[in-house]
Amino acid sequence: MIKLDSLSKHFGKTVVLDSIDLTIEKGEIVVIIGPSGTGKSTLLRCLNFLEQPTAGTMTVGDLTVDVKKASRAEILSMRRRTAFVFQNYALFANKTALQNIAERLLVVDKWPKEKAYRRAREILDQIGLGEKADAYPASMSGGQQQRVGIGRAMAAGAEVILFDEPTSSLDPEWVEEVLGLMKQLASERQTMMVVTHEMSFARDVADRVIFIDGGRIVEQGPPSEIFYNPQDPRTKDFLKKILATNSV
């Protein structure tokens, strides 16, 4: 379970996240939508402590931290409970596909080599890239790189996988294979928080859609409500714009 209490993030005087309260159950698939620059990425990055939140408390699994007083150990522990999938894949350029996935098990979880690589191979097979084990990121397509990126996040065995626009950098031809893998994870009830503009994915896969604007949660609910019966004018406005280019 994930719980945010009055989580805020300021950059200097700019308030990017304004006292967010949010609870996400284990196994829940949450899709976050909203206009550009409203703090969607920042929210995910705060959960992974890639940004240090300014105030509030954060609970992931059995760890609760007051973000202002978070110690180094707590920050590491929080990062290890939350896995991140980046828009630009961000695979380790000096490591093969297999090593990218095994890295965390080896270095962070200190698994023995053999066990770590065995597990990494399982994941590689699961994401359909078994034959790419020894390929370096530079030699893989965007879609393959992003699938390895997701594989790396899966290896973490994290409480939640955070996806920040995982298909936005992809050539259209690779989008489906990445969404397909995410759907597979969703069907296994892996807890996920996904920032995306893929509205059909949100409609088909999400248990809950959260609309964020100006650093606040404006409206949330099951996709059927948010997409077909939005209440807030800002949600309506956003959906009108995005659905003009993206049919649900």
Partner 1 sequence: MDVLNVEYMLGLVPVLLRYLPLTLQLAGIGMVLALILACLFAVIRVLRIPVLNQLTIVFISFFRGTPLLVQLFLFYYGLPQLVSALTVIDGITATTMGLTMHFSAYMAESIRAAIVGVDRSQTEAALSIGMTNGQMMRRIVLPQATRVALPTLMNYFIDMIKATSLAFTLGVTELMGATQKEASGSFLYFEAFIVAAIMYWIVVELLSKLQNHLEIRLNKAYNR
Ligand X SMILES: Nc1ncnc2c1ncn2[C@@H]1O[C@H](COP(=O)(O)OP(=O)(O)OP(=O)(O)O)[C@@H](O)[C@H]1O
Shortest distance, position 12 Cβ to ligand X, whole Å: 7
Shortest distance, position 32 Cβ to partner 1, whole Å: 18
> Rule CB under 5 A: is residue 38 a binding residue for Mg ion?
no
What SS3 state is found at 138? helix
Q: Which of 5, 18, 74, 103 touches partner 1 by CB under 8 A?
A: 103
> Rule CB under 8 A: is residue 83 a binding residue for partner 1?
yes
How many other CB atoms sit within 10 Å of the CB of residue 69? 8
The 2-11 sheet, strands edge to edge: 14-24, 2-11, 55-60, 63-66
Contacts of 146 (CB under 8 A, 6+ apart): 85, 89, 166, 167, 169, 170, 174, 178
Q: Residues interacting with ligand X, by CB under 6 A?
A: 11, 14, 16, 34, 36-42
Pairwise CA distance, residues 193 & 143, whole Å: 20
Shortest distance, position 187 Cβ to partner 1, whole Å: 24
Shortest distance, position 160 Cβ to partner 1, whole Å: 12
> Rule CB under 5 A: is residue 8 a binding residue for Mg ion?
no
Closest residue to bound Mg ion by CB:
41
x/- mask, partner 1, residues 29-48, rule CB under 8 A, reads -------------------x
8 A C-beta contact, residue 158 and residue 82: yes
Q: Which of residues 140-179 bind partner 1 (CB under 8 A)?
A: 152, 156
8 A C-beta contact, residue 143 and residue 179: no
Q: Could you report how far apart the first and last alpha carbons of the chain are, in Å?
A: 30
- The single-letter code of the amino acid at 173 is E
Binding site for partner 1 (CB under 8 A): 48-50, 76-77, 79-80, 83-84, 86, 88, 90-96, 103-104, 107-108, 136, 138-139, 152, 156
